Amino acid sequence: MKPIKVGLLGFGTVGAGTFAVLKRNQEEIMRRAGRGIEIAMVADLNVERAREMTNGECEVVNDANLVVDNPDIDIVIELIGGYGIARELVLKAIANGKHVVTANKALLATHGNELFKAAQDKGVMIAFEAAVAGGIPIIKALREGLTANRIQWIAGIINGTTNFILSEMRDKGLDFDTALKDAQRLGYAEADPTFDIEGIDAAHKATLMASIAFGIPVQFDRAYVEGITQLQATDIRFAEQLGYRIKLLGITRRTAYGIELRVHPTLIPASRLIANVEGAMNAVLVQGDAVGATLYYGKGAGAEPTASAVIADLVDITRLATADPEHRVPHLAFQPDAMIDTPILPMSEITTSYYLRMHVADKLGVLADVTRILADATISIDAMLQKEPAEGEQQTDIIMLTHQTQEKNVDAAIARIEALTTVVGKVTRIRLEELN
């Protein structure tokens, strides 16, 4: 059987990794796929570099349209990124009857509903294992391996840059700005790290996992997104003293009232396996009703880890290319006509526990005032830490962990606490998840 022909759009880090791994492991891959998989065309603006790195083994062009319009190309790998030209090229590839493999989580989180429908109508596949958690096969696990389960919740460390920064802040006592500069110097963070540190990248990935887990349309615009830029080393240290670690988590949970979809810094008990994921590594914890908790851990980025996921998608498509479209695994796990538009809950309706830190005057009655306000808002205290003021200081920190309550109750309580004349500045609020 002749090899399946692949066109590669974008020959950056992941593109070059994909070419290298496919060439190195071609015999093993062919044994698994049942036929050869050959990158026949590459489109990249830096034609000379791409030609040098492919060693003349495929055609290299500077116009991606030449790839998606080539009738000999069976599968298009989109590694350009972004929302604009990538969307146009993917839609064009689909219209031309080509299957698509992409690592572009931003594209799918914002335009996924449109793209998946176009692919469904045309009878082609969009595969996107590499879009979430790099080399970790979490999409396949959710879409196929856990298909017998009613997924209850997912919590994931799904951005390596922020996890590296938080690990540095905890291990070395660095402030956020210093840890970010270290991450940039070592290549873990981009020159413009906004998508990472503001939680946007993690929210793209959480949005896709929520759709697959619960059979809902892709709804990135309804996700709550909060990054790590306001985190202070002080709070990481206090959390440690209380037996917790702070991670940027992407969380999605099924409730009786709707679906939670949120990304924010989160206290996790230090005894949890996921709390001990350090550096640039990723981990996703999935709770299913039949299997219980399963944890997926590995490299969430990098040339070859991401290439591993891209090539796994190529193999899947190669195996299923001739299958009846009606009998393929659906893009979002559920049959397209069985998707349910369950509402995404606003953040004010979320129920969780909280870490609260307030800087207060060292005066009699301050603690009583604060606890009375919390009681009025039906918020009960689980643990408390009160620091002795430094010698000569007239102010100190009070740290409280609450039992579960709705976010709107905490919002109301914080507003009243900040209005007290004995409270200095803003109350620091970090959400807390037991993940048990």
Residues marked active site are found at: 205
Q: Is 124 exposed, middle or buried (0-12, 13-18, 19+ CB in 10 A)?
A: buried
Query: What's the token pair of residue 421?
Result: 């004349």
Q: Is 233 exposed, middle or buried (0-12, 13-18, 19+ CB in 10 A)?
A: middle
What are the E-state strand segments in 28-74?
A: 37-43, 59-61
CA distance 383 to 399: 8
- Report the residue count for the chain: 436
3-state secondary structure of 354: strand
Upper half-sphere CA count for residue 162 (Cβ side, 13 Å): 31
The string of DSSP letters for 70-114 reads -TT--EEEE---SSSHHHHHHHHHHHTT-EEEE--HHHHHHHHHH
Match 């096969």 to its residue by tokens. Answer: 137
Alpha-carbon separation of residue 123 from 130, 132, 278, 325 (angstroms): 22, 24, 42, 6
Q: Which residues contact 385 (CB under 8 A, 6 or more apart)?
A: 238, 241, 242, 398, 399, 400
